[in-house]
């Protein structure tokens, strides 16, 4: 069984469809109940579970959950891959050159949060996960030690 979400509407597919499909690279010609459909894969994510397809020149956003994804949802483990962080610590001793965020800001994984100078090099310190900035424990121009808490995140 698969759960398929198409443009925010969910469907369950319990058995293989009786379609005639002719694959041509990233496009497909599908014949179902004597009706012809021209489908093109516009883009998909790395895991192939989220994609955008065009069916007869109309685009649809699709996400697919297989039996393992459904089981993880039922067990409450579907959000285990989301990185939650509590504190952001200094990875090395250095001098804070710039702070790119403020208390209350929302950050995503990979966002630059501050610039730290260490050994005459500017290092962009990026967020290791998603969250909201609770407090900033340092100031611009302050010297920090390795492992020192720089920012608290909710």
Buried (b) or exposed (e) across 57-89, using 16+ Cβ within 10 A?
eeeeeeebbeeeeeeeeeeeeeeeeeeebeebb
19/148: higher pLDDT:
148
78/147: higher pLDDT:
147
Q: How confident is the model at residue 138 (pLDDT cuts 50, 70, 90)?
A: very high
What per-residue confidence (pLDDT) applies to 83?
55
Sheet holding 143-144, edge to edge: 121-126, 112-118, 94-99, 143-144
- Dump pLDDT digits (tens) for 75-124: 877 665 555 667 889 999 999 999 999 999 988 888 899 999 998 899 99
14/49: higher pLDDT:
49
pLDDT average, residue stretch 65-74: 82
Contact 112, 98 (CB under 8 A): no
pLDDT for 128 beyond 80: yes
pLDDT for 133 beyond 70: yes
pLDDT average, residue stretch 5-34: 83
> In 3-state terms, what secondary structure has residue 66?
coil
| Gyration radius from the chain CA atoms | 24
Q: Which of 89, 80, 72 is nearest to 128 (CA)?
A: 89
Listed in sequence order, the residues at least 6 apart from 30 whose beta carbon sits closer than 8 Å to its beta carbon are 19, 20, 21, 22, 36, 37, 38, 39
Listed in sequence order, the residues at least 6 apart from 124 whose beta carbon sits closer than 8 Å to its beta carbon are 112, 115
- Dump pLDDT digits (tens) for 32-66: 888 999 999 998 887 768 899 999 999 999 988 88
């Amino acid at each position: 069984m698969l759960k398929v979400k198409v443009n925010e509407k969910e469907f369950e597919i319990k058995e293989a469809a009786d379609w005639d499909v002719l694959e041509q690279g990233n496009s497909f010609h599908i014949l179902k109940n004597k009706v012809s459909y021209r489908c093109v894969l516009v883009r998909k994510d790395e895991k192939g579970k989220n994609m955008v397809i065009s069916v007869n020149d109309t685009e649809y956003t699709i996400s697919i959950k297989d039996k393992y994804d459904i089981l993880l949802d039922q067990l409450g483990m579907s959000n285990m891959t989301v990185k939650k962080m509590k504190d952001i610590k200094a990875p090395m001793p250095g001098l804070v050159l710039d702070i790119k965020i403020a208390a209350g800001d929302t950050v995503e994984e990979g966002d630059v949060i501050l610039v730290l100078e260490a050994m005459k090099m500017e290092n962009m310190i990026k967020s290791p996960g998603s969250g909201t900035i609770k407090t900033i424990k340092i100031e611009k121009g302050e010297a920090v030690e390795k492992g020192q808490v720089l920012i608290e995140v909710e």
